[in-house]
Amino acid sequence: RPGEPVFTPKGKDNVVFQVPDKFLEEKYQNIGSDIQSRFGDEADVTIQVRDTALPNITVPAQLDKSDNFSLFIPRHKKLAAALIDVFMKAKDIDQLQSYAVYARDRVNSQLFNYALSVVLLHRPDTKDLDLPIFIESFPSKFIDSRSFGMARQEANVVKQGNRRPITVPRDYTASDLEPEHRLWYFREDLGINVHHWHWHLVYPAESSDINIVRKDRRGELFYYMHQQIMGRYNIERFCNNLPKTVALTSLREPIPEGYFPKLDSLVASRPWPARPSNSTLMPIKRTLDQIDLEISTMERWRQRFLEAVNENAYTDLQGRKVALDETTGIDILGNILEASQQLSPNPNYYGDLHNMGHTIISYVHDPDHRHLESFGVIGDSATAMRDPVFYRWHQNIDDMFNEYKIRMNPYTAQQLTYPSIRVTAVGIQLDNGRTNQFHTFWQQSDINMTKGMDFMPRGDVFARFTHLQHIPFTINVQANNDSSAPKMGMVRVFMAPKVDDRGQQMSFRDQRRYMIEMDKFVANLRPGQNTLRRRSAESTVTIPFERTFRNLDNRQDSSFNFCGCGWPNHMLIPKGTDQGYRMEFFVMISNYEEDRVNQDLGGACSDAASFCGIRDRLYPDRRPMGYPFDRLGRQGADTLASFMTPNMKVQEVTIIHNDRVSGPTGQ
Ligand code: CUO
């Protein structure tokens, strides 16, 4: 019920569903009362499941229980869509519960979890419920297999109350011989991976209910959110003395970056497959997944996308050219390239390039299934961002979108200006007293893994992660309103590296691709001088630290559904360097009357609206995502300085990293 936890009150882990015998798996039906009394004795909570006509779940049950599940594989998407359909059609919450209990033991557990999560997010009568917490359901997707084994042992040997957290080692996937390993803290960050899984849950590419797929500007947000990931990742690379990501454009060259995830796949009790260095992509022929894909097919899809970009028009189902316009063009291209087969205007012609890229890379170790191996981590949205090749593939995707963006007319000075509004100063105030610096360090935080570990005896077991963190700060903006009337402004905050790898001021052309969004908020500007203050914890790209860590164990936070989507606040600031990494901190105030979207946001979670949108609402900004850096600079502006109009201001800042490790939250 809304306002109540979906599963159990804290500390009450044992839930027993009392079900009619016909709900049990066939092999258990004649010992139904046995089972129920045995588990019933241990129950903290007993839930009577309503007897109901059984739904037909033969289609979703086609995925073997021991198989891994991937949203990037078309067959899996279809099987999940079938289960979503069953759940969406339940008449009320009680019937949904009956259907879910019935399906739980009969379908693949990952498919089940995905379908139920999508349904809980989208049914009007379940929207206010918490989602099952994903890390707790599938901790093995986030925690290395050795720590996982240690947690199991701790739970078996040590009494509840005396158990110590299992410290997940900070760099277990490779040694310093592998330069890419310097980025472990970004790629293997728990909050980043959960965000990515959550984003794809909120924006499914396919569903039998088209309303679940068709969301305001979802194709554009696919482009923008992943573009921002690439901007952030590239900056982390620069901080670690690595060059920018090389796009995986040619699918026929060996991939130097290998990745050995050291995670166990929970369902099959098998390790996730690894990819050795210098693997070369092969056509995939996997009858089981119903995939038969040539590399030349992917190349053709790419050519057709670029053709649409070049002609500023796509080819529709009848073969006609349809012009892309300034407002919706990027959204259509996003749906074509991702691809959403239901929203792409011509799915056969443009294919499924981005998704099949994930798939073909994920099967590089066993393209024809001769070794009966499942896909690698890039095939699962919960684990994909761990692998260096994820970024090479998404750099390629982003470069393709960029080909469209650089062909658009640059903004004119007049379009960028907000008459009578001037930004006169911008400053960063750190909570430790420093100004115009950011400070980063390491922090340890604990996560309760109990729910996902199906072992006895029960009770809490914690995993302790080390992750990047920064000192909280306040952004101070001085703005003048030279008119005599109050004005509303949209304050747009970005940050980008100042110099290129030769130490020269970065060109605007390069820098705009690394402009990472830090925040965006509305401000009231009185005539005369105004001081605006904004806390780092309020950022509209992030969700609070508590939602990534502490409250995962605490069901008081009822906002963990749409609100679970969002960049983790502890990764808001790039790592920086010991000596200080130089960045340009940019603030623009645009005319809110032109930017505003009229809608009621009451009750809606909008914590991370820049990356995730707002549920059941329009994207809360009328400008193109990434504005004003989504296009090339205005005519003649080849540096940020020459791009500036009076309603913008840049402040040079540095990011200083301190290698200290601070203790677990609250300890
Ligand atoms: Cu999020 Cu490729 O889209 O992973």
Q: Which residues contact 138 (CB under 8 A, 6 or more apart)?
A: 110, 113, 266, 382, 452
Domain 15-127: which topology?
A: Hemocyanin, N-terminal domain (1.20.1370)
For residue 477, the surrounding DSSP H or E stretch is strand 473-481
- Token pair recorded at residue 295: 């590399």
Query: Strand, coil or helix: what is 463?
Result: strand
% of the chain at pLDDT higher than 90: 64
Instruction: Decide the pairing of beta strands 437-448 and 462-470.
Output: antiparallel
Rounded distance from Cα 329 to ligand 1 centre (Å): 20
Is ligand 1 within 6 A of the CB of residue 358? Answer: yes
Among this protein's residues, is 253 annotated catalytic? Answer: no
Mutate to test the pocket of ligand 1, among 224, 381, 398 (most ligand atoms within 8 A of CB): 381
Alpha-carbon separation of residue 495 from 211, 271, 585 (angstroms):
35, 39, 5
Rg (CA), the chain: 25
Catalytic site residue from 236, 338, 517, 584: 338
Determine the atom of ligand 1 nearest the C-alpha atom of 196.
Answer: 1
Distance CA 461, CA 523 (A): 45
Determine the atom of ligand 1 nearest the C-alpha atom of 338.
Answer: 3
* Alpha-carbon torsion angle 626, 628, 634, 640, nearest 10: -100
- Token pair recorded at residue 206: 């396919």
Residue 579 banded pLDDT, cuts 50, 70, 90: very high
Residue 150 banded pLDDT, cuts 50, 70, 90: confident
Q: Of the ranges 42-46, 411-415, 453-457, 473-477, which is most confident?
A: 473-477
Cβ distance 330 to 401 under 8 Å?
Answer: yes
Q: Which residues contact 348 (CB under 8 A, 6 or more apart)?
A: none
Q: Degrees (nearest 5) of the Cα angle 56, 58, 59?
A: 110
- Taking residue 289's Cβ as centre, other Cβ atoms within 10 Å add up to 20
Q: Degrees (nearest 5) of the Cα angle 491, 495, 500?
A: 150
pLDDT tens by residue, 482-518: 999 999 999 999 999 999 888 899 999 999 999 999 9
Query: Strand, coil or helix: what is 269?
Result: coil
What is the pLDDT at residue 667?
A: 39
HSE of 559 in the Cβ direction (CA atoms, 13 Å)? 16
Is ligand 1 within 6 A of the CB of residue 384? Answer: yes
Query: Strand, coil or helix: what is 272?
Result: coil
- Between residues 562 and 431, the one the model is more confident about: 431
Query: Strand, coil or helix: what is 655?
Result: strand
What is the pLDDT at residue 266?
A: 62
- Taking residue 281's Cβ as centre, other Cβ atoms within 10 Å add up to 20
Average pLDDT over residues 389-413: 97
- Helices H, strands E: what count in the chain? 21, 20
Rounded distance from Cα 611 to ligand 1 centre (Å): 13
The CATH number fitting domain 413-449+461-662, selected from 1.10.3720.10, 2.60.40.1520, 3.40.470.10, 3.20.20.100: 2.60.40.1520
Cβ distance 300 to 291 under 8 Å?
Answer: no
Phi, psi of 313 (to 5 degrees): -160, 145
> In one letter, which amino acid is 151?
A
Q: Which residues contact 190 (CB under 8 A, 6 or more apart)?
A: 135, 142, 447, 465, 467, 548, 568
Residue 269 banded pLDDT, cuts 50, 70, 90: low
Residue 280 has pLDDT above 50, yes or no: yes
pLDDT tens by residue, 328-378: 999 999 999 998 889 999 999 999 999 999 999 999 999 999 998 999 999
- Token pair recorded at residue 35: 């089972």
Residue 390 has pLDDT above 50, yes or no: yes
CA-based nearest residue to 80, from 66, 64, 63:
63
Domain 179-405: which topology?
A: di-copper center containing domain from catechol oxidase (1.10.1280)
Cβ distance 322 to 420 under 8 Å?
Answer: no
Mutate to test the pocket of ligand 1, among 394, 395, 611 (most ligand atoms within 8 A of CB): 394
pLDDT tens by residue, 436-485: 999 999 999 888 776 666 555 567 788 888 999 999 999 999 999 999 99
Rounded distance from Cα 400 to ligand 1 centre (Å): 15
- Which residue ranges does the chain devote to CATH 2.60.40.1520? 413-449+461-662
Q: Which burial class, exposed, middle or buried, applies to 174 when counting CB atoms under 10 A from its CB (0-12, 13-18, 19+)?
A: middle
Mutate to test the pocket of ligand 1, among 77, 218, 226 (most ligand atoms within 8 A of CB): 226
Is ligand 1 within 6 A of the CB of residue 196? Answer: yes
Determine the atom of ligand 1 nearest the C-alpha atom of 394.
Answer: 2
Long-range contacts of 125-128 (CB under 8 A, 24+ apart): 125/92, 125/93, 126/93, 126/96, 127/561, 127/615, 128/2, 128/3, 128/558
Tokens 């809606």 — which residue? 604
Cβ distance 302 to 353 under 8 Å?
Answer: yes
Determine the atom of ligand 1 nearest the C-alpha atom of 385.
Answer: 4
Buried b (16+ CB within 10 A) or exposed e, 579-599: eebebbbbbbbbbbeebeeee
What is the pLDDT at residue 41?
A: 72
Distance CA 542, CA 194 (A): 12
Residue 49 has pLDDT above 80, yes or no: yes
Rounded distance from Cα 563 to ligand 1 centre (Å): 19
Distance CA 221, CA 331 (A): 8
Rounded distance from Cα 187 to ligand 1 centre (Å): 13
Residue 652 has pLDDT above 50, yes or no: yes
Q: Which burial class, exposed, middle or buried, applies to 369 when counting CB atoms under 10 A from its CB (0-12, 13-18, 19+)?
A: middle
Q: Which burial class, exposed, middle or buried, applies to 56 when counting CB atoms under 10 A from its CB (0-12, 13-18, 19+)?
A: exposed
Determine the atom of ligand 1 nearest the C-alpha atom of 199.
Answer: 1
Distance CA 448, CA 463 (A): 6
Nearest Cα residue to atom 4 of ligand 1: 381
Rounded distance from Cα 381 to ligand 1 centre (Å): 7
Residue 641 has pLDDT above 80, yes or no: yes
pLDDT tens by residue, 114-131: 999 889 888 989 877 767
- Which residue ranges does the chain devote to CATH 1.20.1370.10? 15-127
HSE of 224 in the Cβ direction (CA atoms, 13 Å)? 24
3 state SS for 125-167? CCCCCCCCCHHHHCHHHCCCHHHHHHHHHHHHHCCCCCCCCEE
- Which residue ranges does the chain devote to CATH 1.10.1280.10? 179-405
Q: Say whether the peptide bond before residue 339 is cis (omega within 30 degrees of 0).
A: yes
Q: Degrees (nearest 5) of the Cα angle 363, 368, 372?
A: 80
Distance CA 44, CA 9 (A): 9
